[in-house]
Amino acid sequence: MHLFEPFECRDVTARNRVMVSPMCQYSCEEMDGLATDWHLVHLGSRATGGAGIVMTEATAVTPRGRISPQDLGIWSDEHAEALRPITEYIESQGATSAIQLAHAGRKASTYRPADGRGPRRDEAGWTPVGPTSEPWPADEPLETERLDIEGIERVIDAFVTAARRAVDVGFDILEIHAAHGYLLHEFLSPVTNTREDDYGGSFENRTRLLREIVREVREEIPEGTPLFVRISATDWLPDRKSWTVEDSARLAGDLEPLGADLIDVSAGGNHPDQQVPEPGPHYQVPYAERVAESGVPVGAVGKITTPEGAEEVVRNGRADLAIVGREHLRDPYFTLHAAKELGYEAPVPRQYTRGFD
């Protein structure tokens, strides 16, 4: 297996094993969740640049599920239709389109990074929701609403409805975001989930919401549509009872029979006390290797910044996909440059052939 070998999953074949990581752009300037020209150019240029799979940023399934007011959404048909030009363009470039469906949970209603981050208390903000009323730790945290059973059912329905909309406007692959301290991760981890009902306490109960979403989304979408799940393999909180890589491997084994086709393995984000290891090259790849021991295909992310590094991850069987984030921000044509450097053939847009002769 090598980086430019096609990736086959259900009825989808991606032209190579490079995936553009979902990266928030905070560019819905009207604060309405609708995709803009920025999203089209940002995602489209990575498709033109040769990536096998191009995934949107975290796309909120409800208005309150956005991280910031400038985040993408897919909570209505209008939002879905605004994404259609993106799927059409990605397909026209020979790449595979993917969307990450997300709910920010208690980490919602913040200022975007360019505006200073932090809780948003003005009229553009809202009350976040979570597994409990415990807010995201901050100097002046936002009041957080504990989801009751009816609220949980509404979240499940929102993911299912968003999945149907995503398929209808042409996305080839769907991903459920259960990482980085957002709502589904908050339910998974004992750090943030201290409920005493069927959705808290034991491992089985804490994973129940994600399992129900995966099962119901799988039942809603076509059999041939791949379904990925992004998780944080660890909370990076060794000083307390928390979510661990062993939990993640167990979860992966539970999700595959429900219809999950690949686990996108990231880490952290669930608490500001996290102890992040030195972020050297490929520092999160060992987590993907551990999760892969469950027998489920995995994608690896985290400081994969060179063609040789991406090739090593795939060729040595450490992951099925090399998920490249920040390097794609620096170089939209990373994949074409990687093919040339590694000696592989990759289709270059006819308009650009002079640059790759």
**Active site (catalytic) residues:** 182
Q: Which of 326, 291, 287 is nearest to 306 (CA)?
A: 326
CA distance 106 to 86: 29
Both tokens of 37, joined, read 């020209």
Do residues 267 and 236 make contact, with C-beta atoms less than 8 angstroms apart? yes
Q: How many CB atoms lie within 10 A of CB 29?
A: 11
Question: Percent helix, strand and coil across the chain, each rounded to 5?
Answer: 35, 15, 45
What crossing angle do the helices spanning 245-255 and 208-220 adopt, rounded to 10°? 30
Q: Which of 51, 49, 91, 2 is nearest to 323 (CA)?
A: 51
- CA torsion sign, 172 to 176 to 179 to 182? positive
